């Protein structure tokens, strides 16, 4: 039984980066010469994709030595919903993907019996 946090590993990585860049380009946030903000956004998108791939690998590798089904993802971590400017919203989404992947890895390790 695999669980990667949000159930869609393609949501991070290239697909997510393209969605974010398409969102930010019309607003002038992403220029031809990448700004520091765009570089940080790229970094978080790449990091989100990497953590999702790692979570998937951990869950696949440990599947045979895990007890029980995956725990449902935690809810209520973000108690206050607020609007962010586009760049910060994109960063928040990437950080949320990283958080979900880390939760998935933690869940897998907690259910592993060696």
- pTM, full prediction: 0.66
Low-confidence stretches of the chain (pLDDT < 50) are 1-12
The pLDDT value recorded for residue 5 is 45
Measured distance CA(62)–CA(4) in Å, rounded: 13
Instruction: Please state the separation of Cα 26 from the chain's center in Å.
Output: 24
Measured distance CA(65)–CA(2) in Å, rounded: 12
In contact, 6 and 97? CB cutoff 8 Å? yes
- End-to-end distance of the chain based on CA atoms, in angstroms? 17
The pLDDT value recorded for residue 79 is 59
């Amino acid at each position: 039984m695999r669980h990667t946090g949000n159930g869609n590993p393609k949501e991070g990585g290239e697909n997510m980066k393209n969605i974010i860049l398409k969102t930010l380009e019309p607003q002038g946030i992403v220029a031809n010469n990448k700004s520091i903000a765009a570089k940080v956004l790229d970094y978080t998108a790449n990091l989100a994709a990497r953590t999702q791939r790692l979570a998937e690998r951990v869950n696949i590798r440990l599947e045979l030595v895990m007890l029980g089904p995956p725990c449902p993802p935690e809810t209520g971590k973000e108690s206050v919903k607020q609007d962010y400017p586009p760049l910060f919203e994109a960063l928040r989404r990437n950080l949320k993907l990283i958080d979900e992947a880390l939760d998935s890895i933690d869940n897998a390790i907690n259910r592993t019996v060696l």
